[in-house]
Amino acid sequence: VPQLEKYHSIVKVFAAIAPLLGLLGTVVGMIVTFQALTLFGTGDPKLMAGGISQALVTTMLGLIVAIPLVFLHSILTSWSGTLIEILEEQSAGLIARHAEKIKS
C-alpha cells in the first residue's frame, strides 16, 4: 500500500509550487516594469511591455504546470484508493477461506 501512495505527495507539492513560482515570476516582471517606469518615465510603452510580458508568461507557465498536476493527483488518489479497496476485499476473502480450512 505505501508503494501505491508513494508519489502522491510529490505530485501534490509540485502542483502547489508551480503557481507560486508563476506568481514569483509575475512579481519579478512587475518590478522590472516599475523600474523601467522609474528610469525612463511613462513615455515609451515598449519599455514596459517586456516586464508585463514576463509577468504574464510566468503566470501562464505556472498554471500550465499546476492544472494537469492537480488532475494527475486526483486520478492517482482515486486509482490507488480503488486498488486498496480491492486488495482489502481480496485479503479478507483469503483470511476467511483460511479460517474455514482451519475449522474443518
**Residues 91, 95, 98: CA angle, nearest 5 degrees:** 135
Is residue 102 within 8 A of residue 58, CB to CB? The reply is no
- Parent domain of 54: 8-103
Number of domains in the chain: 1
Phi then psi for 44, rounded to 5 degrees? -115, 105
Q: Is residue 2 part of a domain?
A: no
Q: Is residue 52 part of a domain?
A: yes
Q: Is residue 3 part of a domain?
A: no
Return the pLDDT at 52.
87
Return the pLDDT at 43.
66
User: Could you tell me the pTM of the whole model?
Assistant: 0.72
Q: Is residue 37 part of a domain?
A: yes
Is residue 60 within 8 A of residue 18, CB to CB? The reply is no
Q: Is residue 35 part of a domain?
A: yes
Nearest-angstrom CA–CA distance, 3 and 97: 27
Phi then psi for 100, rounded to 5 degrees? -65, -40
pLDDT tens, residue order, the chain (104 aa): 677 788 888 999 999 999 999 999 999 999 988 888 888 777 677 777 888 898 999 999 999 999 999 999 999 999 998 998 999 999 999 999 998 888 86
